[in-house]
Structures are given as C-alpha cells and as structure tokens.
Amino acid sequence: MPNYTLYYFNGRGRAEILRMMFAAAAVKYMDKRFEFNEWDKYRKDMPSMRVPVLEMDGGMKMPETMAIARYLAREYNFYPKNSMDMMRCDYIADCFYEIMHDYMRYYHWKNGRFRFGENGMMSSDNGNEGGNMESNYDNYLQWRYMNTLNRIMPFMERTLSMRNGGGQFFMGDQMMWCDMMCYCCLENPYTENQAMFSKFPKLMSLRTRVAAHPKVSAYLKSRCNTTW
C-alpha cells in the first residue's frame, strides 16, 4: 500500500469524502492541513494550484477531488462490481459533487476568499464598478447553489427509492462511495438549514445509516471539529 499524504485546508470541504473513505477502509494517511494564510506557500507546489491533492510515496501529486475519490473507491472496494452499476454509482456521486462545488464557490466567495487575480490585487481594488459586480456575484453564486440543490435533491430522493425501496444504500445493501458523497456534500448545507431537507426523508435516513457504519462512526467522533 502506498504512503499517502492528503493536502487540503483545515476544513472538511472537498477533502472530507477522501478522509471518510480512508477511515472507512482503515487506511492510514497523513492528513496535511493548512490555514488560508499559508496558502501562498503551498499553492505553487500543487499541480493545478488547487486542493485537495493526494501525494503518493512522497512523490507523485494527484489533483482533482473526484479523480482521487474514484481511485480510492477502486482500490478499497467502494465501487459496485458491474459496469452499469458503476455508472449509476458515478452519476449519483457526481450529482452530489455538483451541489458541493456550487456550495464551496459560494461559501468561499461570501467569506472573501480566493479573490486575488493574476496581478495579486483584490477584485474590489478596481473601484465602485468592481464593488457592484462583487455583490451581484455574491447573489449569483447563492442563486446558483440553491438552484443546483433544488434540481438535484428530488432526483436523488427518487434515485434512492429505486433500489430496495430506498431503505438501504444507493446500490443495495452495501455502502459505496456515492453514499459517503451524500453524507459529505450535504454537511454544511444541512447544518445551515435543516428545514430545507425535511422534504427528503429517505436521503436524510441514508445519511444516518452512513454515519452509523462502524468505521465511519468512529471517524466522525474523532475527527477535527471545523465549521466547514
């Protein structure tokens, strides 16, 4: 088994699905977390200047959340066996990642992060026009996130119901990586507005089942406590 180092900020964010899969597979790795004010130091060493990044055996660095998640799912048996089921598992995971992606962009932007352009200037340094553009962009990102959530959640609730009445996992009686995606991608959205999720009882019960998986439950109890 390779020696793994996972690079990400000191938050759950996009890296949490990877941490959860490592925990569910009982695979050891180095969880390298850094603060936003350290990002300048790390960014240049990340292949696409974004994180998460998975480094193997202190050498090769692999970017992109979903590529890393699929690799871990293949290596540690969180994929179903046949090709059609793999495709189903993939589209479910991708749907939850759409929510995560739009949420993260909105969340970081509204908190004033990653707004520096190529010249190192904040976009608000461009005068009033820039300021207006920024607040419109805030609204746009929030609208986009809510729009994605409202489109995907009913679809996922129906998709879950199609196997075993939706009372087990997405693919049947075994937890797969798409189930863990359902847990991780909805963590902040759910914490911020629980009422919004009462329309999706099967997905909420699925999240409870994921959290009750013995290894996941141990992980959830011991993990770093962060706001995102």
Residues in the site for ligand GSH, rule: CB under 6 A? 13-14, 50-52, 64-65, 104, 114
Min separation Cβ 199 and ligand GSH, Å: 27
Asked if residues 27 and 52 have their Cβ atoms less than 8 Å apart, the reply is: no
The smaller minimum CB distance to ligand GSH, of residues 16 and 213, is found at 16
CB of 29 to ligand GSH, least distance (A): 17
What is the Cα–Cα distance from 191 to 188, expressed in whole angstroms?
5
Beta strand 4-9 with 30-34: parallel, antiparallel or unpaired? parallel
Peptide bond connecting 214 to the previous residue in cis, omega within 30 degrees of 0: no
Q: Which is nearer to ligand GSH, 15 or 156 (CB)?
A: 15
Of the pair 53, 160, the CB lying nearest ligand GSH is at 53
* CB-based contacts of 51, cutoff 8 Å, min separation 6: 7, 8, 9, 14, 15, 42, 63
To the nearest whole angstrom, how small is the minimum distance from the Cβ of residue 37 to ligand GSH? 13
Nearest distance from C-beta of residue 228 to ligand GSH, angstroms? 9
CA distance 37 to 25: 32
What 3-state DSSP class applies to 63? strand
The residue among 78 and 106 lying less far from ligand GSH, judged by its C-beta, is 106
